[in-house]
Amino acid sequence: MRHLILVHQKTKQDIQDYREIARRIHQRTDDIRVFIAGTKDADWAEAEEAYSAPSMTVAPMPFKHFRPRGGTVLVGNEYPKGYQYERMEAEGVPVPEWVRVKPGIKLDPDYWGPYVVVKPELGRKGSEIFITRTHRVRYKPPEKFAPDHPIHKAPLMAQRFIYTGKWPHHFRIVTFLGKCILAWHIEQSHDYPPLEDKWEFDQAGGGISIVSNKRSSSYVETNDAGAIAVAEAAHRALSEVPLLGSDIVREAETGNYYVLECNPRGDAWLISSHIGRDIQRIHGLDSPNQFGAVEIATNVLIEETRRRAT
């Protein structure tokens, strides 16, 4: 007998999804027992029983007060983007060329192009992401930034600009234990001025933004095989994290795909999180049924519990 412990966080996953997964596993197997705990459960009543057999704990989000008592533990973690890139590069997953902004940095426009993207290694929702003239990239110590700037948690990085077209767009691919459960294509609103050519930021005038995940952006479901394949490869590079929400771009000139980030903190159960349901309602999506997310999660949990529970 193996035990599977699913750790739930209110607003980030609908607990009914977990209960349905548990029901399906119990219906199909006689060698796996499922327990459901809350991430705030410091004194979980079922802990002793749950950890009395080889176990696997799966928590998409970082623990709050819950503490596993042994076995295999797969939990979300807020890895900086540079660390994500290093892990993915080691496995051959395509990411844009990048460098940390350190003292003495000087980038050659002949190599990087006239503009690069500068962004924090830890940041959310596209905050503090800028397109910057390559020759102007310079290091500034953290104390030169506002107290709430992300640089106080992790460094800035400069990244090669990937041109996706007139309006920025990307794929958000959610993978659970390496399997795609949701895929969206997100494009910036055409109310923004277009970038007609890769380097025409000056000619385009003010107002150009390279961030595509804005409130006004369009969201549609997609089954783009290239984006899904790259996202699943990225998850293999970070296999200790149960849930990833990878942002994938496709370069306009070459058609090549690149991973911008994986969001390994786990705030990506968009089939039923409060944020995910709001997006689905606004854009007319039915993401739980796009690929059959709960069924995919059930199958992969059975497979991985048998393989990885200790």
Query: Residues 198, 212: one domain?
Result: yes
What CATH number should be reported for the domain holding residue 239? Answer: 3.30.470.20
Pair 86, 224 in one domain? yes
Number of domains the chain is built from: 3
Last residue of a domain, one of 144, 161, 178: 161
pLDDT for res 208: 64
**Within-domain flag for 238:** yes
- Given this model, what pLDDT does residue 213 score? 76
* Residue among 39, 42, 53 at smallest CA distance from 4: 53
Classify residue 282 by burial, with Cβ atoms within 10 Å: 0-12, 13-18, 19+: exposed
Cβ neighbours of 78 (radius 10 Å): 16
What does the buried/exposed string (b/e) look like for 25-49 if buried means 16 or more CB atoms within 10 Å of the residue's CB? beeebeebbbbbbebebeebeebee
**H runs (alpha helix) in 71-148:** 81-90, 109-112
Q: Are 66 and 85 within one domain? A: no
Last residue of a domain, one of 125, 146, 161: 161
Q: Does residue 276 sit within a domain?
A: no
d(CA 95, CA 252): 15
SS3 109: helix
Judgement on whether residues 87 and 72 belong to the same structural domain of the protein: no
- The pLDDT score that the predictor gives to residue 12 is 96
pLDDT the model gives residue 279: 96
- What range does the domain containing 192 cover? 77-95+162-265
179 within some domain: yes
Residue 30 lies in a domain: yes
What are the 10-residue block averages of pLDDT along the chain, 310 residues in total?
A: 97 97 98 97 94 98 95 96 97 98 96 95 75 94 86 91 96 98 96 89 63 85 98 98 98 97 96 97 97 98 98
Residue 39 lies in a domain: yes
29: Cβ contacts below 8 Å, ≥ 6 apart: 302
Look up the pTM and report it. Answer: 0.94
Statement to judge: residues 105 and 51 lie in one domain: no
197 and 81 belong to one structural domain: yes
180 in the same domain as 88: yes
pLDDT of the residue at 144: 84
**Looking at residue 62, what DSSP letter applies?**
P
Q: Are residues 140 and 234 in the same domain?
A: no
Residue 210: per-residue pLDDT: 78
In a domain, 68, yes or no: yes
Both 187 and 81 in one domain: the answer is: yes
| In a shared domain, residues 171 and 256 | yes
Q: Report how far Cα 230 is from the mean position of its chain's Cα atoms.
A: 13
- Do 11 and 51 fall into the same domain? yes
123, part of any domain: yes
**Entry field: residues in the chain:** 310
Is there a single domain that holds both residue 256 and residue 131? no
Residue 285 lies inside a defined structural domain of this protein: no
